[in-house]
Amino acid sequence: MNSLIVADSERSADMLYATGFFAPDPYIFLEAGGKKSIVLNDLEIDRGRRTALVDEVVASSDIRQRIKGKGEPAPAEILIQFLREKRVRKARVPYDFPAGLARTLEQAGIRLKPVPGLFWPQRELKSEAEAKLIGKALRITEAGMARGIEVLRESRITGRNLVWADRKLTSEILRAEIDSAILRAGGIPANTIVAGGLQACDPHERGAGPLRPNDLIILDIFPRDAKSGYYGDMTRTVVRGKASEAQRKLWLAVQKGQEMSFRGMKPGASGAAIQDRVRDFFAKEGYPTERRKGRWVGFFHGVGHGLGLEIHEEPRFGRTKFQPGQVITVEPGIYWPGIGGARLEDVGCITATGVRKLSRFPQEIEI
């Protein structure tokens, strides 16, 4: 069946995967009869003809001139005209295809079939070229992590504060330093997590306010490579100062849980079974997953997720049997009020015999 997407490729991974062309405004992609076509406005047409990975690039202004009637045609009219010229009467579309546009097309006699789940199933299994692009995104991620660790190491412990550049070091200041390093390395930062103390017990808390010495601090960095659109993702948990025995025990349990996950990853293995073993291991170490006064403690998220043109994409670690080509994060964590939170995250690519780690950055608790 024909495939149709109408979206901008900065936000639609399906569009970027189909065309290899970045554009901030929605444009048209059609695959019909084995031929890939896109329709671009005049601002994008020359760049699209140079760089888009398609068979045909059509100017929307040319279609506009062929539409009979008075006034400026609406974008939907241009799309309908284009589809009629291509003799397309039905097409599969992503599940998030614009509802209003879908209704207009169906009123024009063009039937659409929304596709649940992955629109391009092949996105789940990365080629070697894609794995290299993710590796490049991870090098950008590591540049941000290196800067974060560097600033923490340079900070002075002054009572209950960390002082850097003659001011209290906060989550906001450290995040800005990390994000600036990512930009210089060619990445686009987004929602970098710098969370210490009790804040680190909330896995997606970005962090705010002063960072404290001798606290567990989670640094979770997931930038996009500005050139390719692929994401990196990495988490380290560190203490600036001296880790307590309780903090060290918790951190080492997380590290062992991550190692256990990597050891079990191979074609045909069950992600759910590995995830259950890690959760059971944490419970035996004294960190059961449970609710206390309405709040989860322990290990209450999945081991990991697919990584590629989206930061969270298929497969989910706990819902897959591994296949060669999958690129997956491995990020167990324990969140324990009174001690803090710890998470360690690296990225692996499933091979024919096991898993190849794509991350390179070292793990250390005290800095």
DSSP string, 105-132: HHHTT-EEEEE-S-SSGGGGS--HHHHH
Tens digits of residue pLDDT in 80-128 = 999 999 999 999 999 999 999 999 999 999 999 999 999 999 999 999 9
Structure-block tokens of residue 245: 């025995």
Tens digits of residue pLDDT in 314-327 = 999 999 999 999 99
Residues 6+ apart with CB under 8 A from 139: 185, 232, 360
Residue 280 confidence (pLDDT) above 70: yes
- For residue 315, whether the previous peptide bond is cis, meaning omega lies within 30 degrees of 0, is yes
Return d(Cα 189, Cα 310) in angstroms, integer. Answer: 13
Mean pLDDT over 191-205 rounds to: 96
Structure-block tokens of residue 239: 């203490």
pLDDT-derived band at 69, boundaries 50, 70, 90: confident
End-to-end, the C-alpha distance of the chain in Å comes to 56
Mean pLDDT over 175-186 rounds to: 98
Mean pLDDT over 350-359 rounds to: 98
For 195-209, b/e burial (b = at least 16 CB within 10 A) is bbbebbbbbebebee
Residue 70 confidence (pLDDT) above 70: no
pTM: 0.95
If one compares 176 and 70, the residue with the highest pLDDT of the two is 176
pLDDT for the residue 128: 97
pLDDT for the residue 293: 87
Are the CB atoms for 112 and 106 separated by under 8 Å? yes
Strand partners, 237: 218
Mean pLDDT over 34-60 rounds to: 97
Structure-block tokens of residue 32: 């019909």
Residue 229, Cβ density class (10 Å: 0-12 exposed, 13-18 middle, ≥19 buried): buried
Residue 249 confidence (pLDDT) above 80: yes
| CA-wise closest residue to 200 among 255, 160, 158, 238 | 238
The percent of residues in the chain predicted with pLDDT above 90, rounded, is: 97
Residue 56 confidence (pLDDT) above 90: yes
Structure-block tokens of residue 10: 């900065």
Residue 300 confidence (pLDDT) above 80: yes
pLDDT for the residue 364: 98
Tokens 């639609």 belong to residue: 12
Return d(Cα 119, Cα 199) in angstroms, integer. Answer: 37
CA-CA-CA-CA dihedral for 14, 17, 20, 22, to nearest 10:
30
